[in-house]
Amino acid sequence: MRSPKRSVKLKYKKGISSESEIRERCFSDIDPDGKKFDRVSRLHCESESFKMDLILDVNNQIYPVDLGDKFRLVIASTLYEDGTPDDGEYNPQDDRPSRADQFDYVMYGKVYKIEGDETSTEAATRLSAYVSYGGLLMRLQGDANNLHGFEVDSRVYLLMKKLAF
């Protein structure tokens, strides 16, 4: 028997309904459990703007990240700046502006699990949303009030850009 679908949304930036922005700071070790794969690093980060924790796998050959790097992370349902939905497939003839043009690293994935710390008598106070980007995994965990909008089986983009500081 399948468990019922649960949904979670990230707190949106004011005036934008199709993207969520999180500024992240790597605070722990990169690959704290040791390096499992040559080309993948697991980042453990915390948000500076929200009380959220992020665990994210990145391809370190394409996008090397060092301990202490700060980056801008956006989770969006579409790459179109006007919020128009897309089908998730690349179209070389499409010349509309893309959010991806402003970022260094972009992944497209599927929300596969949402968990909460709820009990039988109380609603969840913290939620975790899990996304697979072709096998590279992400867990975003935070206060239930700050997370709203992800749905199991929905598709999302992750866009990253390192920040100078």
Q: Under DSSP, is residue 99 helix (H, G, I), strand (E, B) or coil?
A: helix
- CATH at 52: 2.40.50.140
* 2 in any annotated domain: no
* 140 in any annotated domain: yes
* 1 in any annotated domain: no
* 66 in any annotated domain: yes
**pLDDT tens-digit profile of 46-103?**
877 777 889 999 999 999 988 888 888 888 889 988 888 888 888 888 888 889 999 9
Structural domains of the chain, count: 1
Q: Which of 70, 66, 71 is nearest to 29 (CA)?
A: 66
42: containing domain: 7-163
**pLDDT tens-digit profile of 126-153?**
889 999 999 999 999 988 777 777 889 9
* 31 in any annotated domain: yes
* 120 in any annotated domain: yes
Q: Where are the alpha helices (DSSP H) in the chain?
A: none
